[in-house]
Each structure stands twice: as C-alpha cells, then as structure tokens.
Amino acid sequence: MEVSALQKARYSYTPKLPDILKRPPDNIMPQFGAATGSIADQADLQTIFRHNYGKPVVTFTNGKNDAMRRRLCVGVVLSGGQAPGGHNVIAGLYDGMKKGCRDSKLYGFLGGPSGLLENKTLEFTGGLIDQYRNTGGFDIIGSGRTKIESPEQFACALENAKKRGLDAIVIIGGDDSNTNAALLSEYFTENGSSIQIIGCPKTIDGDLKNEHIEVSFGFDTAVKTYSELIGNIERDAASAKKYWHFIKLMGRSASHIALECALQAQPNVCLISEEVEEKKMSLDDIVTEICSSIIKRASGGENFGVVLIPEGLIEFVPEMKKLIKELNDLMAVYGDELSAITNFIDQQYWLERHLSGESLGLFTSLPPEIARQLLADRDPHGNVQVSKIDTEKLLIGMAEKKLAELRQVGAYALKFSALAHFFGYEGRCAFPSNFDADYCYSLGFTAFVLIASGLTGYISSVKNLVAPADKWIPGGIPLTMMMNMERRHGLSKPVIKKALVELDGNPFKTFAASRKQWAEKTCFHFPGAIQYYGPPEVCDQPTKTLKLEHTE
C-alpha cells in the first residue's frame, strides 16, 4: 500500500499523556472512591450484576505498585462502527503493557466480536503497531457488529479467552458494546474466571458520555471533518447564490454532531431532534420553519442557504415515531410474511389491515421512495435503518410543495433550487485530530493500568479534557454506573443510557441564541481543514461543545 506524506509524518507524532501516566508504571497506584450506584433501576441492576454492581470510581495516584510490572496477556476487540483514533487506543494499550513488562503480549480479535467467538486473532508487534499510529480507520484488525448476548456465546467467549491464556479483554465500542462488556464481565466472574473485561468509549455520535466520560473518542475528528465540508459548501453557496443545500449528518439517537457542526459553521437552519420531540413538532412544522428562512432570505435577494439535518430526525417527529414503532413491531412479528410480498402496492394493502388509521394515513402520504425505505431490512436491534432513509430529500420535496404556493412573495421573486447531501462515512475513518490522537492513546494506556491493577467491569476514562493533555485525569468508571433498564424486543434489558442533547445545556442555548440571525442573514463560518502541526491554539483545541459544557 502506498503511504502518503501525511501518513508518514503521522507515524512519528508522539501523543501527549496525562502527567500521572508518564511515571514509571510501578509508581502508579489505583485510588478508590466511594461505592457507586446506577443512574436508575438500582434494584434490578444490582440483581443482574451481583458481582460488579456498586464498584467505586477509580483514579490514579503516585505510589509503589509492583503489580504494574507483571506479565500480561490481553486481547482487544474493535466493536461497531469505525471512529477516528481506534488505532491509537490499541497503540496506547500496547505501549503501556510493554512499558510494564516487555514480555507482555497483546492479541487483536479479527473482525470484531465475531473474532472472539471464532477465536481468530493476530499478535501485535511493535512493527505492526508503528504502521498504524495516529491513523484513521479500524483496518489493523477490522471491526464488526456481532452481538455477544446468548448464554452459548458467553460460554464460547470464555472458552476461547481461556484457550488464549488471556488475563483480560479490552472492548472498544459504543453504548451497546460496552453494555455487552459489562454482561461479559459479570458472566466471567460468575463462572469463576479471573479474566478481566475493560471497556473503552467509542462513537462519533457523541451519545456515550456523562460526567465521567466527557466525550466518546472519534467525535472530535468527525465533527471537524464534517464542519470543514459544510464550510466548503457554504462558501460555494455564497459564491453561486442559487442553491439551498440540505445536509444530513450522522447521529441516529442524538443530535450532538449536528449541533457541534452548527456551532462551528453557522448554517441558516439546523434541526435538533431532541427539540423536535420536546416541542412535538410535526413534519409540516419542521418544513414551515425551513420555509420561513427561505422566504426571509429571498426577500433580501439571497436565494441560497444551508440546512443541517440529524440522521435520526424522523424518529423524533411524534407522528413518524409512532409509525416507525408500529412498523418495527409488525416486522418483529410478521417480517417474513411482509418480506414475501414483493410488490409495493400489495405491501400497502397488507399494511391497511395492520397499521392504525393515523399511521396508515401518514404512510400513504409519503413519497413512495421514502415509504419503501421504511419497509427495508431492519438493523441488528430490529429497528428501521434511518441512515438509509433520505430525510433530506423528503424535506426538500415538502419544502418545494409548500413554496409552490408562494412563488411570488411581496415585490420579489421567490426562487428555490435544492441539493441533497449525506455526510456519514466521510468522517468515520479520517486521520484523527491531535485531540483524538492524544485522547485515544491516553484511553488505551489507562486501560493497561486498570488491567494491571486487577480491575474488571470498568470503562477507561480520561477527564478534564478542556485542559492541556498533561492535566487530564485518567481513571476507571464502573460500567454499571451508567446503566438503566430499557425495553428491547419486548423485554426489559440493562443498557448504558444514551446521552442526548440537553436543551437546557450551554451548547444548545448558545446555538438557540444565534439561530434567528443565522436564519435571516448569511453568517457562515468556514472552519477549514483539521490542522495537525502548528500552535496548540490551532491544532489541539477540543470541540465547541466540550468547551461550552465546561462553562459555568
């Protein structure tokens, strides 16, 4: 594979570490806080996690710790969608283990969780790790979305871990993957195994966070990548002065990406799914808001603009949420029967007998291509795959219809020509920003310290992220601390609660204070490309969201 000049330069970048992790490993001691509880459903979760529930938060301090020098054999799994910085988590884990004991071994399970079930691994070497330092992607071992959840799968995972002689497994993933990590840890302990499980917070969506997990890795790079692209489109729109660009962005369950990109690029309209749900906005309400901006800008002769749309928006529109829930429930019970009907007209006849009147009316009012997408194959959780629904095209079509009645407004001609975009995969494997390169390396090194300290059922945590990296605070958070019980496939199950945009939080309030002006005037910002070399105020800054969340 040919290597670019930037890639060669990134190989030699030395990630920054918190001061405590720069010490000789045997001078790093775990420091335990008070016992913890889950965010909700304490009694149920205490019953499910009788070995791991209530563990204390862990930080590190200076002190003699000979355990840090013991030989370790560890396996690592990349789980779920890619996020920039995953390679550096592995590099930080590898370097920490080798710093503790040069005879330690790190294995990577190939292809995600399925690699653990199929016992497919490779052993990392220094040469292999060096080829992937500070680079994007998960291609060093690959990722996957296999869920380890049945008793047979748990037993298989334990058996394969024993065969490899592992002391621990590190699972790098999002909320679902880390929920599985907690269940795996509990199963191992329940069955008398000392093999430890440590999680690591990954997802570009930004919905795995709380007071201890300030941000999931990959979010910083992804939003900076998308913001550059949005800025480029804004510049083009302001130059051509004839197109409205509707841009759908990653973020199924939460609108953190859309909100951060709005704070960076200042588009004319940015929809926030959580606000749509809070205000019980209909599709017509949403289109009316967009058209209001189009009309006001047209009155000033500016027949161009940019609209940002979260990927999961339609699931937050009450009428659409109800329809999708009914469809998901029907697919769970009658999926094979419906799939056997290949003609769309016949599918509609079938739905007439099964959908409620309100949902059927909405379904039949949708453009046929959107309606068909709602009937497509479900994701592994049984839900509609919203990333495959062209929400941006749906809103363009509805706006065109509404504006057709307003072709002449006052003394000016209303012109509307729209283009649709979806930014998703463009941000998942970008070269990690310096922030993500440093953060991920610290997360991996922290995972090593947690393992060497004999801990299990924890997620690697690095706090105080708005400060310079040497002031960051590494540690471990009990996975059960972030959990509640939710209904999944008709059953109540333990899950790590997703963090949604808080409408009373500083990031949203800052956005809300400016959006009226953005809707009417051209206030575009052009963030430009991620900078890797230069002064820290240019290269090492965290996101605006992270800064605002730490502003009183």
Cβ-based neighbours of 252, under 8 Å, separated by 6 or more: 205, 311, 312, 315, 386, 387
Active site residues per annotation = 205
Residue 384 exposed, middle or buried by CB count within 10 Å (0-12, 13-18, 19+): buried
H runs (alpha helix) in 132-272: 151-163, 175-190, 219-240, 256-265
**For residues 543 and 245, what is the distance between their CA atoms, to the nearest angstrom?**
24
Report pLDDT for 186. Answer: 98
**Both 94 and 137 in a single domain?**
yes
- As a whole number, mean pLDDT of residues 224-229 equals 98
In a domain, 8, yes or no: no
pLDDT of 243-255, one tens digit each?
999 999 999 899 9
User: Residue 3 corresponds to which tokens in the numbers above?
Assistant: 């290597």
**Both 101 and 182 in a single domain?**
yes
**For residues 200 and 86, what is the distance between their CA atoms, to the nearest angstrom?**
10
3-state SS, residue 322: helix
Query: Domains in the chain: how many in total?
Result: 3
In a domain, 172, yes or no: yes
**For residues 316 and 279, what is the distance between their CA atoms, to the nearest angstrom?**
10
Q: What is the CA radius of gyration of the chain?
A: 25
- As a whole number, mean pLDDT of residues 461-474 equals 98
Is the pLDDT assigned to residue 57 strictly greater than 70? yes
pLDDT of 320-354, one tens digit each?
999 988 998 898 888 889 889 988 999 999 999 99
In a domain, 339, yes or no: yes
Residue 182 exposed, middle or buried by CB count within 10 Å (0-12, 13-18, 19+): buried
CA 69 to chain centre: 34
In a domain, 508, yes or no: yes
**Both 349 and 416 in a single domain?**
no
User: Residue 444 corresponds to which tokens in the numbers above?
Assistant: 């991996």
**Both 41 and 170 in a single domain?**
yes
Q: What are phi and psi of 325, to 5 degrees?
A: -60, -45
CA 530 to chain centre: 19
**For residues 294 and 269, what is the distance between their CA atoms, to the nearest angstrom?**
10
**For residues 431 and 539, what is the distance between their CA atoms, to the nearest angstrom?**
13
Is the pLDDT assigned to residue 287 strictly greater than 70? yes
User: Residue 468 corresponds to which tokens in the numbers above?
Assistant: 């310079």
Do 469 and 435 form a contact (C-beta atoms < 8 A)?
A: no
CA 55 to chain centre: 26
**Both 102 and 164 in a single domain?**
yes
**For residues 316 and 366, what is the distance between their CA atoms, to the nearest angstrom?**
17
CATH at residue 376: 1.10.10.480
Domain end point (choices 455, 488, 521): 488
CATH at residue 127: 3.40.50.450
**Both 301 and 343 in a single domain?**
no
pLDDT of 400-426, one tens digit each?
989 987 765 454 467 899 999 999 999
In a domain, 455, yes or no: yes
Share of the chain above pLDDT 70, in %: 98
Beta bridge partners of 474: 462
In a domain, 284, yes or no: no
> Containing domain of residue 229, as a range?
225-272+291-311+390-427+500-552
Cβ-based neighbours of 485, under 8 Å, separated by 6 or more: 40, 41, 44, 45, 492, 493, 494, 495
Nearest to 275 by CA among 513, 498, 500: 500
**Both 175 and 202 in a single domain?**
yes
CATH at residue 504: 3.40.50.460
Amino acid at position 98, single letter: K
Domain end point (choices 383, 418, 442): 383
Report pLDDT for 317. Answer: 95
CA 285 to chain centre: 28
Nearest to 16 by CA among 545, 543, 536: 536
Beta bridge partners of 500: none
**For residues 11 and 532, what is the distance between their CA atoms, to the nearest angstrom?**
12
Share of the chain above pLDDT 90, in %: 86
- Reported as a pLDDT band with limits 50, 70 and 90, residue 119 is very high
In a domain, 49, yes or no: yes
Beta bridge partners of 202: 217
**For residues 400 and 438, what is the distance between their CA atoms, to the nearest angstrom?**
46
**Both 69 and 106 in a single domain?**
yes
**Both 366 and 466 in a single domain?**
no
pLDDT of 245-282, one tens digit each?
999 999 989 999 999 999 999 999 999 999 999 999 99
Scan for tokens 């499910």, then name that residue: 48
Q: What are phi and psi of 356, to 5 degrees?
A: -65, 160
Report pLDDT for 411. Answer: 40
In a domain, 155, yes or no: yes
Report pLDDT for 1. Answer: 66
- As a whole number, mean pLDDT of residues 20-36 equals 97
**Both 363 and 303 in a single domain?**
no
**For residues 552 and 550, what is the distance between their CA atoms, to the nearest angstrom?**
6
Q: What are phi and psi of 79, to 5 degrees?
A: -125, 135
**For residues 526 and 16, what is the distance between their CA atoms, to the nearest angstrom?**
28
- As a whole number, mean pLDDT of residues 34-44 equals 97
pLDDT of 99-110, one tens digit each?
999 999 999 999
User: Residue 71 corresponds to which tokens in the numbers above?
Assistant: 């030989």
Nearest to 234 by CA among 161, 311, 183, 307: 307
**Both 111 and 125 in a single domain?**
yes
Report pLDDT for 66. Answer: 95
Report pLDDT for 407. Answer: 66
**Both 82 and 131 in a single domain?**
yes
- Reported as a pLDDT band with limits 50, 70 and 90, residue 491 is confident
**For residues 515 and 282, what is the distance between their CA atoms, to the nearest angstrom?**
20
Nearest to 343 by CA among 353, 351, 355: 351
Is the pLDDT assigned to residue 148 strictly greater than 90? yes
- As a whole number, mean pLDDT of residues 538-546 equals 97
User: Residue 161 corresponds to which tokens in the numbers above?
Assistant: 């871990």
User: Residue 495 corresponds to which tokens in the numbers above?
Assistant: 């899950």
pLDDT of 181-194, one tens digit each?
999 999 999 999 99
Query: Can you give the length of the chain in residues?
Result: 552
Provide the sign of the torsion angle of the four alpha carbons 61, 62, 64, 65, taken in this order.
Answer: positive
- Give the side-chain half-sphere CA count within 13 A for 380: 10
**For residues 377 and 144, what is the distance between their CA atoms, to the nearest angstrom?**
18
Report pLDDT for 338. Answer: 86
